[in-house]
Each structure stands twice: as C-alpha cells, then as structure tokens.
Structure 1
Amino acid sequence: MLQVALSQFRTHSRRFIAVGLAVMLAVAFLATTLMVGASTQASLGASLGESYNKADLIATPGPGNGSGPSGFSQAAVDAVAADPAVSAVYAQQTAYAYIGVNGQEIFGKVRNLAPAALEPASLESGSLPAAANQVAVDRTTADRYRLSAGQALVVATGDQRTTVSLTVSGILRASNDPFASATAQLVALSPTVGTLTANSGPDAGPAGAEGLQLVLAPGTDAAAAQASLAGVLSAAGAADPTVRTAQEEVTSQVAAMTGGQDQLTVVLLIFAAVALVVAALVVSNTFAVLVAQRTRELALLRCLGAGRRQVRNSVLLEALVVGVVASLLGVLAGTGLMAGLIGWASSQPNSTFATLAVPPSAIISGLVVGILLTLAAALVPARAATAVAPLAALRPADDASLRNTKGRVRLVLGIAALLAGVPLLVWGALEVQLVPAFGGGLLSFLGVLLSSSLFIPALVSLVGKLAAAAGVPGKLAALNAVRNPGRTSVTAAALLIGVTLVTMMMTGAATSRIAFDKALAQNYPVDMAVTAPGAGAFGGPAATQPPGAAAGFTETQLAAVGGLPGVESAAALPAVGSADLDGYPSEILALPAGQAAAILRDAGLVLEPGKIYLPEGSTPGTVTVTGTAGTANLSAVVLETRNMPPLVSTETAQQLGTPTVGQAVWLRLADPAGGTLSGDDVRTVQQQVAEALAVPESAVSGAAIERLTFNQVIDVLLLVVTALLGVAVLIALIGVANTLSLSVLERTRENSLLRALGLTKGQLRGMLALEAVLVAAVAAIMGTVLGVAYGWLGAMSALGGVVDVSPAIPWLQLLGVLAVAIIAGLLASVVPARRAARLSPVAGLATT
C-alpha cells in the first residue's frame, strides 16, 4: 500500500496541489493570527511602552503613600536600589512647564535623564544633558521652533513662580509614544526637574518619583522579583505599590483605555479560535472532495484484496505527506505576509513603531495544527469509503437528502445546533459576554453548514432560473445543482465560510470604529479651546493662566481663526454669569444653540432653553445662575464628560443680562482628505491659532490632542482586524477556486459525454462558468447576511460594556465583497473549463 500511496503523487499531482494549497492557506491564516497578536503587543510596546522599553520591571505607587505630593520617597528608591536582585534603577520625575522659545510660549513636559541602561530616548545630534543648566529637546519640537544645540530656553512652572534658564545640549529622536506626540518633550538632569516640581509654601520640597524602572540582575527570576520588590517598597513606606513587567504595564494601559478591561487579549484569543475553526472547515471541505473522487478507486482496491486498515493507512499516509509539506509552506507564507504588512505599516508616518514579532507558538501551532487537520480531514471520508462493502461503494453515492437517514441526521444535528447557538449568541451580545457569544456563533454557523446540503442546492436552482435566458448552458448549469446537491454544497461551503468571515470582520470593525468615535466625542466634545485673559482653559478661573494674553477676542480675530487650514468651524463664547457649583464659584459660558452641532463633536448634545449643562460628577437638580441683570434658575443636565465647562445656550443667557464678549473661542478641527489628523497637524493648528489670536501657545488647549492619542491606539487595535481580513480574503478566493477546480476534474467523463452528445466547446465553458457564478452568488449572499449579523453581535459582546454600540453596515465594502466573490467563482472556472473544453471527448471518456 506504500507504493500505492506514492503512486498517487505521480498520477494525481493536481489533486494534491489543490488540497495542499488549502492546507497551506489555512495554516498561514492560523500562524498569521498568532503573529498579529504578538506583533500588536510588540507594536504597542514600541509605542505606548517606548518610555520603559529597556526595563524588566515597572513599579508604580499606590494612592496616598505619604511620600510628599506624589510618588515614591527617596527612602523607597534607595531600598530598591540596594536589593541584590536589582542592577539598575530609574526614579522618573516629570514636570509640566511653559517654555519660552524664540519669542513664543509653548507647553511641554520635562523629564529627568535616566541611567544609560534605562534611558529610552535616542540622541540624534549634540549631547545629553551633563549639567543642571542643560536640556535635550525632541526632534519634532526642534524642527517646529527652529532649535539647535547651544540655544537658550526659559522654562517656567505652571504657576509662573519658578523660572529656569537652560541651554539646549542635544536633539533627541521623536517619540513614538502617542501620549507624547502633542507636547514638547524635554530631558534634563534630576536636580533641574526637581526644581520645577518643588512645592510652594513653608514645607517646600521636591515631589517623589512617579514611578521606578528596574533592570534585574542576570539570572534573576522576574516573577519572584516582582513579589519581593513589592515587599521592599512596602517596608520602605510605600502604600500599595504595584510591580509589573513592561508587557504587563502596556496591557494595563490598554485596559485602562477600554474601561479597565483587557479586551485586547480576549479579542486576539477569539480571533485565534476563529482561525482554527475556519482552518478546520476549509481543509475538511477540500479534502472531502478529493477523497470522494477516489471512493470508487478505493473500493476497487478492496475488491482486489486490500484490507480496510490498509486502505485507510494509505490515505492517511498521503495526508501526512501533504500536511507536513503544506504546513511548512503555510508557516513560511504567514511569516512573509506579516513581514510585508508590518513593513508597510512601519513606513507610514503615524505608525513607524509597527514591530514584527514571530513567537515560537505561531510556528509550532501552525505545523501541529496543519498536520493534524489534514489527517483528521482525510480520516473521516476514508473511514466512510471503507465502511461499506466494496461492491456497494462502486455504485453511485447516495447524497444526503430528506429521503435517507444520512440527510435526516444532518438536518436534526443542524437544527439542534441552530436552536442552541442562536439564543446563546444573542444572550452573549445583550449581556456583553464575549466567550458565550463566540460559542453561540460557532454553534449556529456549524448548524448552517450541516443543513447546507438541504437548502443551498434549492437556492441555487431557484437563482438558476435567471440563467435560463442563456439557453442550453444556463439550463444545464441550473440542473447540475439539483442533480448533485452534495457537490454543490461542498463547493458553496468554502466560499460561504470565507465571505461570512470577511463580512463579519468588516461589520465588526465598522461598528467598533463608530462606537469608539461616539465615546470619544462624548468624552472630548471640544477639539480646541482658546482662553482670554483672566480665564482658565475653558473660560474658568485663571489660576494657571500665563500672562500675556490679549484682552478679549474681536470679530476680526475670530474670522481669521475660522479661515485657518485645518479649522472646520469656530465660535466665540461669552461669559454670561456665575454659579455656586458643589461649593465652588464657577463661570458660565454660552454657546448659540444653532452653532452647537458645528462646534461640538457630541451630536447628542443639544442645547435646550432653560437648562444648564454641567461636567460629569456635578450634582443634578436646579442651579441658580447670577448675571448682570439678575438671576435665573436653570435645570441641570449632567454630561458624561469632565472636559466641558458649565454651559448654556445664548438664548437661555439672554435673561441674565449683557455677556462678556470674547471670553473664549472654541474650534472644531477638520480631518484632512483621505486621513486623520496627526500630532504634528494638531500642533501646527495650535501654533497658527495662537498667532492669529495674539495669545501664547500655552493658552490654546482642548481635546484634539487626547482624541488623537486614543485614536492612534484604536487604530493599532483595528490593525488586527485589517491583517486578518487580508488573510481571510485570500482564503475565500483560493478556497472556492480549489473546490470548483476539483469539482470540474471530478466530472471529466461527464463533460466529455456532453461534448460527444453535441455540446460545443463554448457552450461547455459557458455552462461551467454559469454554474460557478450561481453557486458563488448564493454563497456570497448568504455569507454576507450571516457576516453582518455575527459582526454586529460580536462587537456588542466585546465592546458593549465599554461604549454604546450601534449597528454599522459598510455597504460599499460589502458590495465589493459580493462582486469579488462572484468574479472569483467565474475566474475559478476558467482554467478547468478550458482544460475540459480542450480535451477530446474520446480521451475524456477514457479518463479514470
């Protein structure tokens, strides 16, 4: 039987190429999924975790640890440094300050220089600070404000009480950290930063370290060091310190952005499970067609004396060889695909931090799963072929239908899976339970596949009536679906799987994107705000407002700002009165109700008369507002954001008297054509607005920077979906081509008989093309409907607890998938149809 198995590779190589390609793509899909997960984590580490990418452990203080204003005390730092498990310590301090440069005032962050083993910044030119009067500046800030080594800067604390004169010693490479993209980044020695962070008052002193970065001694176990160092910090007076690895710190930051839930890891695990299921279905369908073609051949071997075990072992040996070779090629293909995707991503300006990671689990899992899937896919049809008597197997196969036991069993199992899976999927979506929703989706989809042979041929036959206009080829194409329902169902199943997965990811990504955008709009409704003298960032108290702002804003200035590139709309907000809110006097701003939709990102925020809109955490009820002409009692509406001052409509404010003109200006920024704003774009607009309104750059604040930061992180997460989508599209296209090609090869004798009966070459090609289009169209429409439902419910189950999820259907993309699927079905029939047409009827009838 070994010789029989080896002879199959020589005589039927085309069949093994087809099934090998299916296995290779399935393994590539699985391996790529695992690589996407690892690469996403590595990319997040290279962006979010860039500031501690050289550290083994990160220690952060708990609240109220009694070490001054915040952070770890010097005693805690010394205790950790003295621990034998630690070889290097960086006690990080940060000061936010106003920086005077070339006649302009900008807002930036000053960080203390780390030891060489832990310093995350890379020097481009000049030198790192070596004296208390030196500072290094990031490349983006240096280019924007024309800075170079040797220039002088004046750095002042937020309250303007402390001023330090510094000299630029060097220029640092621009940071990939999205939280650092919108402000100037400076690095100085610890004494300089300590001066900028010192408290005011009789107990003045430097603030504690806001965090510790640690390098462990060689051979130290990280897990054991985490527990022991947490104890060392606690013994030194730090209350509730947290010690994490660098990767755990990145995961914690991502979780903090998603409502405290580590959705990233969960979603990646679900995608890996989806990849495994899809791989199993695609390989099983393709191999089932291959072995079904050989049912008569295997039965003939049994008639000649081969035992059941010998036949079964022969098929499994073939599957083993195909599985090993195809799995190796699949892992290589997946690695190459990910390298190409990451290479492209890293070449884009806003994602240079994209990092390729190939974990051993991706290679090992790909090889093991590919081989086992191939063996399992070959075992089921091989056992089916040897389970019946040899002479019975030589007769035509009895396809599953309601007239036989096989069809009834499939129908019962399919309906049972649907009845169990659909309610579980819906419940998981409504209750925001991702794992039950995934299980329900898997069960329901298996139910659809089990029942497919009972309704797909009927649907194809129904749609096939449209092909009757094509004459004989169209009628034959429609009849083929009814005459051999098993073959039609297997062919459609490959495309159904691919289209369902693709549309699910498209719908899920679109729904998630809109949900995140809505959440960001609610939390950051104002893109940019400019304050007048005597006002805070949103028109409130000016405790931290730097001097030098102009005395109010004129209509000319407002028009100039509204015409700037990158500004979509602008509005002047007067101060119309004050109110006592939760024990503190607060200034009330007014915005015309008609301008709210043009200025505010939150489309649900509609300014109504008689109401005052308060930031999150305010006390609801009635608020008494005092203006120049008297008082008014307004009904309070508490918003879901803290990034909004007390606000009323100008119509409501009319009863309070004459407002103060030009107290604040709010701006809505316009996204550039074909993309989104980058950090550099925001800083450019900030600089131009400051110049147009004659205010220091530090007086221009708002949420555009925060929105940008979160959008960058969200885009990294959606990169997972994009990468998987590309692989899924490839599997969908090649999967249908494989099954259709095998189907045509199976019918070589049948097609030759039609030719002998008078069917022309053109009619034969047209028949096969129409049949492929009919099957592809039905599978694509079904897959689109299922994918939209799964994508929406999946997004609800994954994100419903974090944001408000509303269904979003990317119609243009879905229409593109339908078109591609139908074209793929047509193209899949071209090569085998040409081969069938070129083969003479006599040679075709002689084919075994």
Structure 2
Amino acid sequence: MARSTVKLTPVRRHLAAVVTIALSCAFVAIMVLAGNLMQASLRSQASQIYEGADLEIQRELSDEDWASEEPLPAPEVEGAEAVWPAPRSYLEASSTSGDGFFEATMLPPGQEGALEEGSAAGTESEIVLSRSAADALEVGVGDPITVEGSGPATGEDPAQETERTLTVSGIAADPAGAVFGGTPRLMLQDVNAVALLGPTAGTTTDIWLATVPDGEDPAAVAEAASASAAEGITMRGVEEAEEEAAGSFMQGFGALGMILGVFVVIALFTSAVVIANTFAVTLAQRTRSLALLRTLGATRAQVRSVVLRESLLVGLLGAAAGVVAGHLLVQAALAGAAGLGWLNGVAPVPVSLWSVLLPLLAGVAITVLASLAPMRSATRVAPLQALRPQPPAVTRGLGVRGVLGLVAVVLGVAALVGGTALALNGVAALGILAAIGGGVLSFTGVMLVLVTLTRPLAALAARLGALLGGLPARIAGANVARNPRRSAATIAALLIGTTLMTMMTVGARTAEATLTSELDSRRPIDLVLSAEAMPEDAAEQVAAIEGMDAAHAGERGDVEVGAGEPMTLYSATPETVREISHRPEMADELADGTVLLGQERAERFGVHDGQVLSLEGADGQSHDLRVQVDANLQMSLVTPATLEQLLGEGTTPVVLADFADPGTAEREGIDVFELISSVDELSASEGFEGASSDPGGAERESYAQILDVLLGITVALLAVAVVVALVGVANTLSLGVIERTGENALLRALGTTRRQMRAMLGWEGVLLAAVGAVLGLLIGSLYGVLGIIALLGSTYPVSITIPWDRLVIVLVLALAAGALASVLPGRAAARTAPAAALASAE
C-alpha cells in the first residue's frame, strides 16, 4: 500500500490534546518570560548603581577613616576625569502625598544638564529626585519635600531631628530596562551632601566611581592606574562590576527559579499523562479504520508512521498556540500593571529565543513521548481480529510493577520519617535531604501501585456513591474498575495536583502556626513604646491610634543581677498581660517577687528557673526575686509593686499595646507598617523625649503575609496542573463511551433514559475525581506535616495545624470539576439512538 493513502486522523479529534499541550506550553512560556523580566530588572538595578560612571574604585578604610568627622579625600586615579563617592545611605523623605525611605546617591558630575525635567540643585535647599522617587512622593519640579538627614540641625536645639524642607529642582530618568521601576533615589550633589549626609558628605565609603575621557578604554585606564595606585586601592571597569552585581542579585532568586522549575515539570508530566489518554481515545475511535488499513496491506511501520505524524502535528499546533498565548498573557499583564500604576508605562514583552524555542521543544517532545504507548497499541492491531474492540486486559495481583511500587512506598516513607527524626535531633541538612528523597521515592511508589489500588478504591467509592446516586453510581464504579490502567492514569493526573496543593496548604498553615507560636512565645506583646519621658495620657493616645486594640501604661528600669550587663525589667499587672498579650496564660505565672523571662534570656544573664536572686532595693534593703522561666520570652516582666520595690523612682515610662487583629473592622485598610508609622509620628510629638518602639507584632504579621503570598503563588501555579488533569478526566470518559457503545445501546434499549445515561457518566467523573482527590488529601497532608517538621523542627517546636476548611474546599472543587468534565461525554452517550448504537459503527 502506498504511504500516501494512509490518511491522518482529523485534527478536530485531537482538540483535547491540542488544548492540553497549549496550556502546558503557555505555562512554560510564561515562566521563561517571568525569568526574563526578573533578569532585566535585576540587571537594571545593577546598572543603576554605576550610572554615569566608567570605573569602580574600591578603597580600604581604617577604623580611623570610618570614625572621621571630616570629608575624606577622593582616591587618586591616574587618567580619570571625575571621581565621586558612592554612599550607601538611606534617607527618610515625605511630601503632602506620600513618604518613605529612599536611597541616597550622588548625581554624577558633568551630568547635571542631562535630566528628564528641571535642572541640578543650585543650593543646599534644592534636590534632584529620580523618576520613581518623584512618583512615590507624587511631586514634580518646584514642589517641596521634607528630608530627615544627618547634617547639622536646623533648629536651636541640636538634639532635635535634622529635618529639612527642600525644593525639587530636577527629576532624573530611571535606568533603561527597569521593567518594575528603578529604585527610588534622592540624587545629591556637593551643594547639599553635607546638609543631608552629615559632615563627611558621604565620603566614608569604600566604593568610589569615576569617569574617563571620551575615547578611552575604561579597562585599559583601570589597568594602567592600578600600577600607580596607593596601597589598598583596586579598580575595574563598570561593565565587570555590573556583571558581578547582577550575578549577586540573581543568586538570591536561584531557589525561586528551582521552585518554578518544579512546577513546570509537574505541569508537563501531567500533560504527558493526559496526552497519552487522548491518543488512546483517538485510537479507539480509529480501531476499525486501522484494522481496515491492515487488511488492505498497511504494514506496522505505516501505522506507526500515522501515529507519529499525528503526534508531531498535534504537538506543533498545541505548542505554537501555547507560545502565542503565553506571550499575549504576559503582555496583557504588563499592560494591566501599567494601567494600575504599578509600572512606569507599558513595557514590551521580553521575547527571547528561549521563550519561543523552549515551549515548542517541550510541547513536541512531551507529545511524542506520550504517544509511544498508544503507538505500540496501534501497531498491534490485527487485520481481522481488530474489527471489534478487544476487551481491556484485567490486572490481577500486584505484578512486578505493583511489587516495585510497594517497595518504593515502604522505603520512601521510612526515609521520610527517618529524615524528619534526624532534623528533630539537630542533623538538619541531612534530615531535610533524606525527607525530600523519601517523599519523591514514596510518591513514585504510589504512582506505580495505583493501578492495583484503583479497582478496590473505585468499588468503595461506588458503594458510597450508590447511597446518593443509586444504580447509575454503581454502574459508574464498575466502569471505572473495568480498565484500571487507564483509570489509574487519569487518577494520577488528579493525584499530582491535589497532593501538591494539599501539601503546600498544610505546610504553609503549619509553618504559619509554628512561627506565630514561636513569635508569641518570644514577643507576645505587639508594641513596647519606651521613652525617657512621655505625657501622662500616653497610653490613651496610643490606644486612640486607628488600628490599635488596647494600650496600658507601665514602667521600666535596669537592675544588676551579677551578669556582665544589667537586666531591664518591665512592669505589667496580670490583668494587663491577659488583655494585651498573645499569651494571656503568662498572667498566671506573674506575681509579686517574681521575674518572668524566657530560656535564652535566662542563659544570657546566667540564671535558671526557680533560682532566687537577692537584690538591693530602692530602700537599701535586700529583696528576693524568684526566676520564672517561661518558654522563650525575650523580655523580663515583673509586677508594678516589684519594680517599685527594687527601683523606686529610678524608672522610665513605657506603653504596652496590642494591635487589632488583621481582617477585623478596626484594621480595615490599615496595614502594619501604617500602624507603626502612626506610632512613630505620635512618639515624635510634644511630650515624648527619647522615644523608641519595639513593634513585635510587625514581625508576626510580616511572616503571615509572606506565607500567604507564597501559598497563593504556588496554588496558582498548581492550578495549571489541575486544569490539565480535568482534560484527562474528560478524555477517559470519552474513551469509555466509545468502548461501551454496544452496552450503552443495550441500556438505552432496556429503558435507560438519556438523563440516566448522563448521570452515569457524571458519577464516573465524580468517582475518578473523588479517588484522586481523597488520596491527594491524605498523602499531601502527610507530606506537608512531615516536611515542615523536617524544615523547622530543629529550630522551633512545630505546631501541627490542618486547615480543614481549605481541604474541604479542595475536595468539593475536585468533585465539581469531575462532574463538569463528564458533561460532553455524557451528552455523546445520551444522543446515540439504541438501534443505531447496536451496530457500533464508527
């Protein structure tokens, strides 16, 4: 038979595979583009450090230089035109519309006229801002801003804040390529450097920058100047310095890149499972055609060529669609971010060779590999025997694959538990490595043994489903168990997504509870405001701050306990502790003649639990103070009566306060940093002297926000794998409809209604989703708990927390998705007329 007479399957029959490949390749393209955006931004940040310079000069400074109160002379560089310092300072600036901390840099000499707007500063009362700083403060040329510098005080009291009102004289452009905006900068010059950076004018730095004459090679100038430079001075071209700085920045994102790579692999692996099922569906639809081709003389090589050409075509179509979709989505995201004001204008999508080539190669390779098993099945089609679909092979016993899977599960769980135990006993690095290896090995074993587990699990799910769905649910369970290999492949796709989503959810919730518990143990009071003096109604003023829950006045003072430093005692009544502390049970341990402190603090001062200290009081007599060690409390608490007995009038006032909980009406629209800013603003007002705050609640809320963001990112990434898995459910149901055409026709002939047929397919999808989701919830919870214990157990006491509400949501969504995936196959089964279907024609 001529090769050209072997027709390809219509592409419309591969629509599910094309969609699956497009989703996965779009995901790969988005990840590559995200990496490109991040690299471009980091390189831009690095170039910003050396903007306008040709050379970087490093000069070692002595202790005397660092302590200098006079400007240090610039390093002498032969062949350089201008040399200026690169101070590493941040200054607080504010306007009527915004405030914040900004990086202080020097405007390169000779570039005063190359500004985006305005001109260079002519006096110490003027300043140049970068575009990002001007946008953050919402100011333009001619507008005033307030800067708290380190220069001489502007008022009569030298101790007051060196707050200056400056006029924006010019705005400099942010560096090119800064997709996410440049670092907001205050760009200083000689005329205002002393006023803002202090008497040294920013020269107490070991990094200086320089320019060379036009036409000169910076590297050659650096090499020549190094030979005559003073000892302790080294120099190089800024290109080399920028590359090193960019590499240093990117190292911090290496772990994030690995995590994103894991999710890419997960999405591609899930796609491979779904694509294999899709080709199995297509081959089932083409069984009679393939048999006819074999009868007419088509060789196995020709049949193999049909499947291979189909795989390549489907892979190229899906991958190309995914590449285009991925780039369009990233461009839309950039446009949306610019519209919301997050970016400085609409940045073009950073198309690169890898953003196009990698998704294409991944899509084609995954498709071809996934088609190997269906291809082998297609070449086994006999000319005559294949005219009617063969019954699926029945798997009995574990088999070699099941035995290997069971061994992998046992060994993997043992390694996971052993690694966790090692981490708990202080061998953190080895324990974490063993736990990760055990998790991978055990999950691989579960995937291998899943074929054997599918039949009993489906039967159990069918019995439970029959209580709600009756006969259609029972028939659906039998259909799922009929071909356990294909059902197991579909369940595996769902299992991957639900396991990882559950693991991340349980792990993040347990980590949050663990870190919160540790922070509650160390710093149970959200805010400790101390001062040399404060108004009598300071506590009432703090409590009146929007977002604050309660505040109480107290005292503090230092006592000698025989250590190398005095111990600072804070006074609070048990009632105060119960109201404002995140550990109200501490109040039961707080009594007169007792000091409450944590284990680390006890070791620091050389005391132990139950020890009685004999201290001289304010009346000159000796008083006993019993040590009560409470967890890891990082402050020393006593009652007001005890502090007065020990120190009398030798104390200073404090305010102990509690933030309103995030999410409550009191905190609506107020983040923790705004709350701290309000406290700082109050403590800088009249009546407060030498005030300082210790906001322990900020650390607690920051950890919670970071974990929530990470969890949101990972769940969004894993959603791609879940969507792909749902396509797999629909494919498996479609194949079942094809294989059971005659049976479905018989059911219709015996009186089964179309609604019952759709219900049967719906229950089949729900049962597949239920088995995958329940297994995923169980395995993911185990991995999440043991993984967090391995990661944090050596440092903190882990508080295992299972977020049942979120797990129920995952289960409900999985079941709903399984039912949704059954809609189209159910319609196909219900539309077939009984008499026509009995012929089982294609």
Matched, 1:621 2:621: no
Quote the Cα distance in structure 1 between the aligned partners of 2:118 and 2:561.
53
Matched, 1:268 2:260: yes
Partners of 1:575 and 1:659 within 8 A in 2: no
Q: How does 1:160-199 map to 2 (within 5 A)?
A: 160=158, 167-170=166-169, 186-190=186-190, 192-194=192-194, 197=197
Structure 2 residue corresponding to 1:308, chosen from 293, 297, 300: 300
Quote the Cα distance in structure 1 between the aligned partners of 2:319 and 2:630.
58
Structure 2 residue corresponding to 1:237, chosen from 232, 236, 240: 232
Partners of 1:574 and 1:660 within 8 A in 2: no
After superposition, the C-alpha distances for 1:11-52 in whole angstroms (9 at most, x for unaligned) are: xx4431112222222323333344455556667788x97974
Q: How does 1:139-538 map to 2 (within 5 A)?
A: 149=143, 155=149, 160=158, 167-170=166-169, 186-190=186-190, 192-194=192-194, 197=197, 207-209=203-205, 211=207, 236-237=231-232, 245-251=244-250, 254=252, 263-291=255-283, 294=286, 297-339=289-331, 360-386=353-379, 396-402=390-396, 408-427=399-418, 430=423, 431-432=428-429, 437-469=435-467, 470-514=469-513, 527-533=526-532
Matched, 1:68 2:54: no
After superposition, the C-alpha distances for 1:314-342 in whole angstroms (9 at most, x for unaligned) are: 21110000001101112233334445556
Query: What is aligned with 2:178?
Result: none
Partners of 2:59 and 2:232 within 8 A in 1: no
Cα 1:391/1:466, change in 2 over 3 Å:
same
Partners of 2:596 and 2:630 within 8 A in 1: no
In the TM superposition, what is the alpha-carbon distance from 1:833 to its structure 2 partner?
A: 1.4
Structure 2 residue corresponding to 1:566, chosen from 499, 524, 547: 547
After superposition, the C-alpha distances for 1:194-239 in whole angstroms (9 at most, x for unaligned) are: 465557xxxx8965226567999999999x99x9899999975169
Quote the Cα distance in structure 1 between the aligned partners of 2:62 and 2:401.
65
Quote the Cα distance in structure 1 between the aligned partners of 2:225 and 2:3.
63
Cα 1:140/1:14, change in 2 over 3 Å:
closer
Quote the Cα distance in structure 2 between the aligned partners of 1:649 and 1:232.
68
After superposition, the C-alpha distances for 1:65-124 in whole angstroms (9 at most, x for unaligned) are: 6572189x9788655x968xxx9987332557799999xxx99667243338999x997x
Partners of 1:19 and 1:738 within 8 A in 2: no
Partners of 1:507 and 1:808 within 8 A in 2: yes
Cα 1:673/1:70, change in 2 over 3 Å:
farther
Quote the Cα distance in structure 2 between the aligned partners of 1:476 and 1:467.
10
Partners of 1:319 and 1:378 within 8 A in 2: yes
Partners of 1:765 and 1:834 within 8 A in 2: yes
After superposition, the C-alpha distances for 1:350-409 in whole angstroms (9 at most, x for unaligned) are: 999999766643432221111011111111231244358656666624525126xxx612
Quote the Cα distance in structure 2 between the aligned partners of 1:341 and 1:334.
11
Matched, 1:833 2:826: yes
Structure 1 residue corresponding to 2:655, chosen from 655, 665, 674: 665
Structure 1 residue corresponding to 2:535, chosen from 553, 577, 580: 553
Secondary structure of the 2:395 match is: coil
Gaps of 5+ in 2: 176-180, 608-612
Deviates more, 1:609-618 or 1:485-494: 609-618
Quote the Cα distance in structure 2 between the aligned partners of 1:297 and 1:709.
63
Partners of 2:57 and 2:234 within 8 A in 1: no
The letter for the 2-side match of 1:321 is L
Quote the Cα distance in structure 1 between the aligned partners of 2:484 and 2:194.
78
The letter for the 2-side match of 1:502 is M
Identity %: 31
Cα 1:117/1:491, change in 2 over 3 Å:
farther
Q: How does 1:50-65 map to 2 (within 5 A)?
A: 52=49
Partners of 2:554 and 2:654 within 8 A in 1: yes
Quote the Cα distance in structure 2 between the aligned partners of 1:840 and 1:218.
86
Structure 1 residue corresponding to 2:767, chosen from 741, 751, 774: 774
Quote the Cα distance in structure 1 between the aligned partners of 2:803 and 2:691.
40
Gaps of 5+ in 1: 256-261, 534-550
Matched, 1:761 2:759: no
Query: What is aligned with 2:835?
Result: 842
Deviates more, 1:467-476 or 1:106-115: 106-115
Partners of 1:58 and 1:249 within 8 A in 2: no
Q: How does 1:636-785 map to 2 (within 5 A)?
A: 648=638, 650=640, 653=643, 655-656=645-646, 658=648, 663-670=653-660, 672-673=662-663, 677-678=670-671, 681-682=674-675, 684-686=677-679, 689-690=682-683, 694-695=687-688, 702=695, 720-785=713-778
Quote the Cα distance in structure 1 between the aligned partners of 2:307 and 2:216.
51
In the TM superposition, what is the alpha-carbon distance from 1:420 to its structure 2 partner?
A: 4.0
In the TM superposition, what is the alpha-carbon distance from 1:656 to its structure 2 partner?
A: 1.9
Quote the Cα distance in structure 2 between the aligned partners of 1:504 and 1:219.
59
Quote the Cα distance in structure 2 between the aligned partners of 1:707 and 1:89.
45
Quote the Cα distance in structure 1 between the aligned partners of 2:174 and 2:523.
24
The letter for the 2-side match of 1:209 is T
The letter for the 2-side match of 1:129 is A
User: Normalized against structure 2, the TM-score is what?
Assistant: 0.76
The letter for the 1-side match of 2:232 is G
The letter for the 2-side match of 1:8 is T
In the TM superposition, what is the alpha-carbon distance from 1:267 to its structure 2 partner?
A: 3.0
Structure 2 residue corresponding to 1:20, chosen from 10, 18, 21: 18
After superposition, the C-alpha distances for 1:677-704 in whole angstroms (9 at most, x for unaligned) are: 5476236523663378743897556456
Quote the Cα distance in structure 1 between the aligned partners of 2:289 and 2:301.
15
User: Normalized against structure 1, the TM-score is what?
Assistant: 0.76
Query: What is aligned with 1:547?
Result: none
In the TM superposition, what is the alpha-carbon distance from 1:744 to its structure 2 partner?
A: 2.8
Partners of 2:534 and 2:689 within 8 A in 1: no
The letter for the 2-side match of 1:301 is L
Partners of 1:323 and 1:374 within 8 A in 2: yes
After superposition, the C-alpha distances for 1:589-641 in whole angstroms (9 at most, x for unaligned) are: 33445544755668998875334459879734138765424555564969979
Secondary structure of the 1:561 match is: helix
Query: What is aligned with 1:93?
Result: 87
Size of the aligned set, in residue pairs, is 792
Secondary structure of the 1:313 match is: helix
Cα 1:195/1:763, change in 2 over 3 Å:
closer
Query: What is aligned with 1:610?
Result: 595
In the TM superposition, what is the alpha-carbon distance from 1:797 to its structure 2 partner?
A: 5.7
Quote the Cα distance in structure 1 between the aligned partners of 2:417 and 2:447.
19
Secondary structure of the 1:68 match is: helix
After superposition, the C-alpha distances for 1:630-682 in whole angstroms (9 at most, x for unaligned) are: 555564969979xx666545475365254667612243333553888547623
The letter for the 2-side match of 1:367 is L
Quote the Cα distance in structure 2 between the aligned partners of 1:299 and 1:388.
6
After superposition, the C-alpha distances for 1:488-516 in whole angstroms (9 at most, x for unaligned) are: 33333332233223333333444455556
Query: What is aligned with 2:571?
Result: 590
